[in-house]
Structure 1
Amino acid sequence: MLLFNPQDYHRDHADPESRQLVEKTIAFFENKGLRRIKEDDQAMVWYEDFLNFIKEEGIFAKLLTPVAYAEGDPGRRWDMWRISEFNEVLAFYGLCYWYAWQVTILGLGPIWMGSNEGAKQRTARLLAAGGVFAFGLSERAHGADLYSTETTLTPAGDGRWLANGSKYYIGNGNCAALVSTFGRIAGTGEYVFFVVDPQQPQYQCVKKIDTSGVRQAYVAEYSLHDYPVGEADILSRGELAWNSSLNTINVGKFELGCASIGICTHAFYEALNHAAGRNLYGRYVTDFPHVRRLFTEAYARLTAMKLFAMRAADYMRAASDDDRRYLLFNPIVKMKVTGQGEKVIALLHEVIAARGYEQDTYFEMALRDIGMLPKLEGTEHVNMALIIKFVKNYFFDPRDYPEVPRRAEAGDDGYLFRQRTGALAQVRFPDYRLAYAGVESLNVAVFRDQVELFRRLLLQAPPTPEQVGNIDYMLAAGQLFTLIVYAQLILENAMIHQLDPDLRDQIFAFLISDFSTFALQMNLNYENTAEQGAIYSSMMQKPVMNKDSAARVWAEQVYALRDRYTMHE
């Protein structure tokens, strides 16, 4: 089974220690129990118990230390197969716990990507001691606009600087062992990344920023007041500092989709258990046909989310200067998987209704937190603007690559710390149609027809100069392209995991419907040429409805999960 279930845990691990790390984490949360998790959430209790746990077990040190700084410990490595799952596990229990992990990953990025070996060794020691980290990039007035950053290092003589400036919306900013901070050199404007220690008197944790989500986390505003910085604190300068900021986000945005999967999975179990045990008008809620449809669609969408994210992790692990396909797949994990998470929670909420607001449920947290993930590490529009840069090469300039298998083996994914940047127009892809080869499915065939219509649009009726200049138009059209890429990786991973054909059919049923909806919006909301309008209209197709297939998915896969997981009270 693809879905994470703490009470029936199945996952291929390359070594016993990796499994033990997850099992210990499961035990920590299950022993804590749902009631205590909810009490802490509602009281906004700082998660000191969780931080003590990861310190005692060396969890972050094991998972986030590259081999080069592991001091010979084979269990310490930067392994995206393990990291992707751990995102899911933490969010399954609470987004606040995931957040401490996520911002630690972001804070470590500029360190591992930098050129300061001493800082890297220092960081490895701090991780081993149980430290968490923070990423000081955004500022209150400018957000993540790096061009406008006002934090500066002013030369103070003898190779030292004084740092001044303020950073805003910084997770772990109150307790991080080190905060990776982005700024400029005064006078030259050269970009720089440096680390600061929150325990120093020149570091001021100004306040906790109150938010409606991740209640227990400490999202800080901090200021530096003539904070002394030496060469030992400088991580990178110039182009390397700039690239470190972008490449850190390339890695960090992937984690958001995995967190959405964790939230949706727990909410799915809770909603199914509730509905299956509730009797209304002499019938159990799960006996109503529309309820079965909602659950089956939610399950199909959730399975698709996980198939795509896991496959994207394979490509991230296979990345090299010659194969940078992950630069397309990662923002789709960020944008599409998190957006699908919102849809899954909405479908489940249609079933359990008011129960979803009750304070003793996990669902109440899921309902609140799921909408945060599409808004972090760049909005949907920012990520879509990146995605559409790949359209031309994806369709019209195929290149042969060796097939990327499932990458579950133990390994250190060090390329992510020396990523090549820029030149997105040079990123190439194999022929996307290879994913469809040998697949016998009516709904897959319908979707492939929609894909070919989109390709015909690009060839015969491409966007006019006016349309290209209309960012709203291009972003809306990008939704169609995103679905095409989403379907490709789902198909690839369905083959790898030998996904049940009935479930695959349900996945492509909603993909066809979503594609048709986006095509309709292009006709309704934008000015098109006559030929463009005709092609968009032809894209609007219906999935093949197979009641027997849907019934089997409901009975054998969805309803079969009833009472398979209930969190300890």
Structure 2
Amino acid sequence: MLLNPQQYSRPHIDDRYRELVEKTIAFFENKGLAKIKEDDQAMVWYEDFLEFIKKEKVFAELLTPAAYGQNETRWDMYRISEFNEILAFYGLCYWYAWQVTILGLGPIWMGTNEEKKHLTAKLLREGGVFAFGLSEKTHGADLYSSEMTLSPQPDGTYRANGSKYYIGNGNCAALVSTFAKIEGTGEYVFFTVRPDHPAYECVKKIDTSGVRQAYVAEYALHDYPITEADILSRGEHAWNSSLNTINVGKFELGCASIGITTHCFYEALAHAANRNLYGRWVTDFPHVKKLFVESYARLTAMKLVAYRSADYLRCASDDDRRYLLFNPIVKMKVTGQGEKVVALLHDVIAAKGFEQDTYFEMAIRDIGMLPKLEGTEHVNMALIIKFVKNYFFEPVEYPEIGQQFEARDDGYLFNQKTGGLGSVRFPDYRLAYRDVDSANVQLFRSQMELFRKLLIMAPPAKEQAANIDYMLSAGELFTLSVYAQLILENARIFKIEIELLEQIFSFLVQDFSRAALQMVVGFENSPEQEALYREMLKKPVVDRAGFDKIWLEQVYPLKDAYVMNG
């Protein structure tokens, strides 16, 4: 399951994509960890990376829909997801340039301006990166309060005025997709501007504790002239483009977290396996084995969830919008699990993780950014809990979805249906549990069924439902339920061994118990609720033989599997 760039093998992926990946891996491996760290610490602008993607046309081939590109260009979420993982494996700053380009392209590919789409394809071939001008300093991502305006002029053109804040690539983007309102009418609008225009002011670089090399900009427009040729969308279409772009872009954060965590896993294991303390190798200590096996199980689960979600993203249609639940779970839960795994690994390597010549030192700083980008945990959880009723109580039949790695354009993502979350339906979640002979899987299911029982017999009272903290905490129980479903579905596809599944669900049982305990100790509940939450507190089944098998056959053999070139 884990990416190993030095032994890259993905037999189902097309030859051109394989070539781009292998060239990308070679670029970073030839650069070496020492140089990556040196550039990171000196906050060097990554011109060499931008030159590489320009020369090899990497972004052009992976981020141009087939209708506007050449050869094997397409917007293929399976390729895009894996490439996120690969870039973050080497450094979050490189991923960031790619991520904000994806966001900047969203309103363009979703818009109605065909000339701008063809220009964008040309700019991508020339090595351009893009930016997404949505957030503002005072209002953040509150689109209702956006103060950027387009002022109509007597000749039918417009003048743009206002500023945007925390905008990646805002210093050098070929085009910046900018969200605003039209003065006088308040109509929403998306248009593009160029940073090299004299009316575009790159106000400053916003210093952040992460992605040191990236340029996160504040920019301002001062009577920037806009014509119809610059406008991408208007009104409801512009509003929807902002939300739908985030639907696509937020998903990629989980894949980045997987890349960072995987590199940390290799580095921590190599360090521990080659360090002798008190006459014993560090990896011989029982608690260290436990930390590594849990880290491996959580990391495997992260990958199973993210790539299963990609399957649903690729199959999306007006009749199947299950991705609207799975996407925020990847954004919130997978990234949060990345933080958890890095913390577990840090407990193993301790002070070594702070040394300046390790990848880990970057990861400690960067991994916490991912759950905070494109919305906080509260924003994502508030979206997730909208689906509880239909998920648990209104099942419908869908054709079974297999692994979606076919070479095709994911065009629906640029024409997504919006609104109507109450109409999003799901098949019976219990289908994921069929034919699974695992003690901890069944134990987890019993916890989940108790939560479902609570929703029937003792649902949140009016006062509880009005308490956002209460609902968000209860939402964690629902999130874990959906997370488990995605794990089980992809475990079947990837033929995950039952012993590893036991280890994965061992931590899920514990996590569910912790969330239920939080409901008990953190809030006032009715006697019926209290009794059900307490009944959810379960202790996972200990599978010592399975644990030893995973350690000896899957985890410990990775100790020399990957060490980055110096």
When the two structures are superposed, what TM-score results if normalisation uses the length of structure 1? Answer: 0.99
Q: In 1, distance between residues paired with 2:139 and 2:111?
A: 24
- Per-residue displacement from partner, 1:189-214 (whole Å, max 9, x unpaired)? 00000000111000000110011110
Q: Is 1:404 matched with 2:401?
A: yes
8 Å CA contact 1:149–1:183 kept in 2: the answer is yes
SS in 1 for 2:500: helix
The residue type paired with residue 269 of structure 2 is: L
Of 101, 104, 108, the residue aligned with 2:105 is 108
Distance in 1 separating the partners of 2:265 and 2:443? 29
Structure 1 residue 11: Cα displacement: 1.8
Matched, 1:150 2:147: yes
Query: Which AA in structure 1 matches 2:18?
Result: R
Query: 1:24 aligns to what?
Result: 23
Q: Distance in 2 between matches of 1:347 and 1:488?
A: 24
Residue equivalent to 2:55: 56
The CA deviation string for residues 297-322 of structure 1, in whole angstroms up to 9 with x for no partner, is 00000000000000000000000000
CA distance in 2, matches of 1:152, 1:269: 49
Are positions 1:417 and 2:407 aligned together?
A: no
Residue in structure 2 matched with residue 191 of structure 1 by the alignment = 188
Q: Say how many residue pairs are matched.
A: 566
What whole-Å deviation, never above 9, does each CA across 1:488-540 have from its counterpart, x for those lacking one?
A: 01000000000011111100000000000000000000010000000000000
Matched with 1:272 is 269
Separation in 2, partners of 1:88, 1:12: 17
| SS of alignment partner, residue 368 of structure 2 | coil
- The answer as to 2:262 corresponding to 1:262 is no
Match of 2:328 in 1: 331
Q: 2:473 maps to what in 1?
A: 476
1:170 is matched with 167
Give the conservation status (yes or no) of the 8 Å contact 1:254–1:334: yes
TM superposition shift of 1:296: 0.3
- Conserved? CA contact 1:165–1:225, under 8 Å: yes
How far apart are 1:10 and its partner, in Å? 1.9
Give the Cα separation in 2 of the matches to 1:492 and 1:560.
Answer: 27
Q: Is 2:518 the partner of 1:528?
A: no
In the alignment, the residues of structure 2 paired with residue 19 and residue 435 of structure 1 have an alpha-carbon distance, to the nearest angstrom, of 32
Task: Report if the CA contact (8 A) 1:13-1:19 is conserved.
Answer: no
Matched letter for residue 31 of structure 1: N
Q: Which amino acid is the alignment partner of residue 14 of structure 2?
A: D
Distance 1:318 1:14 in 2: 18
Q: Distance in 1 between matches of 2:464 and 2:345?
A: 38
CA RMSD, 1 decimal:
0.5
Q: Which residue of 2 aligns with 1:486?
A: 483
Equivalent of residue 506 in structure 1, options 499, 503, 507: 503
Counterpart of 1:127 in structure 2 is 124
Aligned to 1:372: 369
Question: Which string of whole-angstrom CA distances, capped at 9 and with x for unpartnered residues, describes residues 402-444 of structure 1?
Answer: 1111001101000000000000010000000000001111111
SS at match of 2:489: helix
Q: Which runs of 5+ in 1 are unaligned?
A: none
Q: What is the rounded CA distance, in whole Å, between the counterparts of 1:462 and 1:474 in structure 2?
A: 11
Q: Secondary structure at the match of 1:157?
A: coil
Does residue 215 (structure 1) correspond to residue 207 (structure 2)? The answer is no
Task: List aligned pairs for 1:431-450, cutoff 5 A.
Answer: 431-450=428-447
Per the TM alignment, residue 158 of structure 1 is displaced from its structure 2 partner at its CA by 2.3
Aligned to 1:283: 280
Partner of 2:4 in structure 1?
A: 5
State how far apart, in whole Å, the 2-side matches of 1:261 and 1:271 are.
15
Q: Does the 8 A contact of 1:105 with 1:252 survive in 2?
A: yes
Shift of 1:173: 0.2
Alpha-carbon distance in structure 2 between the residues aligned to 1:275 and 1:310 = 30
Residue 15 of structure 1 is matched in structure 2 by 14
Q: After superposition, what is the alpha-carbon deviation per residue over 1:364-406, rounded to whole angstroms, capped at 9, x for unaligned?
A: 0000000000000000000000000000000000010011110
Partner of residue 240, structure 2: 243
- Cα deviation, residue 554, structure 1: 0.7
2:46 match: 47
Aligned with residue 534 of structure 2, among 532, 537, 561: 537
Query: Deviation at 1:7?
Result: 1.1
1:298 aligns with 2:295: yes
Out of 213, 222, 225, the position equivalent to 2:222 is: 225
Secondary structure at 1:169's aligned position in 2?
strand
Counterpart amino acid of residue 438 in structure 2: S
Q: Aligned partners of 1:420 and 1:157: how far apart in 2? A: 36
1:90, 1:525 → 2: CA distance?
A: 40
1:86 aligned partner: 83
Structure 1 residue 456 displacement after superposition: 0.3
1:106-133, Cα deviation, whole Å (9 max, x unpaired): 0000000011111111101101111000
Residue 14 of structure 1 deviates from its aligned partner by 3.5
> For 1:372 and 1:562, how far apart are their aligned partners in 2?
28
Q: Report the Cα offset of residue 75 of structure 1.
A: 1.2
CA distance in 2, matches of 1:159, 1:19: 48
Secondary structure (helix, strand or coil) at the match of 2:54 reads: helix
Alpha carbons 1:168, 1:221 under 8 Å: kept? yes
Q: Is the 1:12–1:408 contact (alpha carbons within 8 Å) kept by the matching residues of 2? A: no
C-alpha displacement at 1:337, in angstroms?
0.2
In the TM superposition, residue 9 of structure 1 has moved relative to its aligned partner by 1.1
% identical equivalent positions: 74
Give, in whole Å, the separation in 1 of the partners of 2:92 and 2:115.
Answer: 33
Amino acid at match of 1:5: N
SS of residue paired to 1:163: strand
Indicate the residue corresponding to 2:311 in structure 1: 314
Aligned to 2:514, the other structure's residue is in SS state helix
Cα distance in 2 for partners of 1:423, 1:159 equals 36
Q: Determine which of 555, 559, 563 is the counterpart of 2:560.
A: 563
Cα displacement (A) at 1:12: 3.5
Q: Give the CA deviation at 1:13.
A: 3.3
Q: Distance in 2 between matches of 1:304 and 1:14?
A: 22
For 1:14 and 1:412, locate their aligned partners in 2 and report how far apart those are by CA, in whole Å: 14
**2: CA distance between counterparts of 1:175 and 1:40?**
19
Q: State the shift of 1:59 in Å.
A: 0.2
Q: Deviations over 1:32-65 (max 9, x none)?
A: 0000000000000000000000000000000000
Task: Supply the distance in 2 between the matched residues of 1:254 and 1:81 (Cα, whole angstroms).
Answer: 12
